[in-house]
C-alpha cells in the first residue's frame, strides 16, 4: 500500500472511530437525560408519577377545558403499621397500594403518590365518573388483606374527591380533595366529596361505605 493510500485509510478509520465514539457518548447522554427526567417526575418507591407530574397533567387537561376530577386518599392507621411491623413493611404496603391504584382503568388518567401514604388519582370525565373512581379506589384497597412478607394485614383508606369548575386552579382542586379526604377520615365514612362553600353549614357530601 502506497504511503498516500495508507494515510487516507488511517484518516478515514480515525474519523469513523471518532464518529462511533461520539455516537456512543450521545446515546449515553440521552439515556442519562431520560433517566433524570423520569426520576424528576416519578416516585422512587412505587414507580408512580409524583406530585409534579400530576400537576403537569392536570394543568394540561384544564387548558383543554376537559372535564376532570381529582381523588386523594391516604391509608388509615399507616403509622401503626410502621410502628408495629417496621419501615420496610410500611414501604412494602405503599408499593402494594401503588400497584392496586395503578391497576384502575379509564377514566383514570394517572395514579400518583404525593408523599408518605398519600396518593392521588386524576380522572377524565364528569362528576359521576370522579365519584365512581373514588369509590372504586376505596374498594380495591380494602378488598383483601395485603401481604407484607412478614404477615398480611387488612387496610382501609380515607378518600376525598372534587371535580373541576370554571377557572379552578390546579392547586385549589388538590386542596379541595384534601379537605374532603380529611373529612372522610374524621367522620369514618370512607369516601367524601368536596362541597362548595355555598352548601348549608353542617351539610357535607359523603358516600357511605362499610366493610
From the list 184, 187, 57, the residue with the least C-alpha distance to 118 is 184
Annotated active-site residue 117? The verdict is yes
Is this model's pTM higher than 0.85 or not? no
Q: How many CA atoms lie within 13 A of 84 on its CB side?
A: 11
Q: Calculate helix-pair angle for 87-102, 127-142, nearest 10 degrees.
A: 140
- Using the 8-state DSSP alphabet, how is residue 207 labeled? E
The three three-digit cell numbers of residue 127, written as one number: 362528576
In tens digits, the chain (211 residues) has pLDDT values of 666 655 554 555 556 555 656 666 665 665 555 555 666 889 999 999 999 999 999 999 999 998 999 999 999 999 999 888 899 999 999 999 999 999 999 999 999 999 999 999 999 999 999 999 999 999 999 999 999 888 889 999 999 999 987 678 999 999 999 999 999 999 999 999 998 765 444 444 444 333 2
**Per CATH, domain 51-208 is 3.30.70.270:** yes
The beta strand positions in the chain, using DSSP E, are 68-75, 108-115, 118-124, 146-147, 152-153, 157-163, 190-193, 206-208
What is the C-alpha separation between 87 and 192, in angstroms, rounded?
29
From the list 78, 99, 98, 73, the residue with the least C-alpha distance to 89 is 78
From the candidates 43, 74, 117, 178, give the one annotated as an active-site residue: 117
In 103-203, which residue ranges form alpha helices assigned H by DSSP?
A: 127-142, 170-187
**Residue 152, exposed/middle/buried by CB under 10 A (0-12, 13-18, 19+)?**
exposed
Amino acid at each position: 500500500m502506497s504511503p498516500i493510500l495508507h494515510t487516507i485509510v488511517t484518516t478515514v478509520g480515525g474519523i469513523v472511530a471518532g464518529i462511533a465514539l461520539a455516537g456512543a457518548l450521545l446515546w449515553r447522554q440521552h439515556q442519562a437525560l431520560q433517566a433524570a427526567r423520569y426520576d424528576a417526575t416519578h416516585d422512587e418507591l412505587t414507580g408512580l408519577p409524583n406530585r409534579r407530574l400530576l400537576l403537569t397533567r392536570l394543568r394540561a387537561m384544564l387548558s383543554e377545558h376537559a372535564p376532570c376530577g381529582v381523588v386523594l386518599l391516604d391509608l388509615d392507621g399507616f403509622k401503626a403499621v410502621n410502628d408495629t411491623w417496621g419501615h420496610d413493611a410500611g414501604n412494602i404496603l405503599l408499593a402494594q397500594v401503588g400497584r392496586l391504584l395503578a391497576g384502575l382503568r379509564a377514566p383514570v388518567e394517572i395514579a400518583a403518590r404525593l408523599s408518605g401514604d398519600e396518593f392521588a388519582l386524576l380522572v377524565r370525565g364528569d362528576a359521576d365518573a370522579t365519584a365512581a373512581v373514588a369509590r372504586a379506589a376505596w374498594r380495591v384497597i380494602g378488598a383483601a388483606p395485603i401481604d407484607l412478607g412478614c404477615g398480611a394485614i387488612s387496610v382501609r383508606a380515607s378518600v376525598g374527591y372534587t371535580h373541576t369548575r370554571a377557572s379552578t386552579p390546579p392547586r385549589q382542586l388538590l386542596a379541595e380533595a384534601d379537605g374532603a379526604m380529611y373529612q372522610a377520615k374524621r367522620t369514618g365514612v370512607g369516601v367524601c366529596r368536596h362541597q362548595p362553600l355555598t352548601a348549608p353549614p353542617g351539610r357535607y357530601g359523603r358516600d357511605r361505605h362499610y366493610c
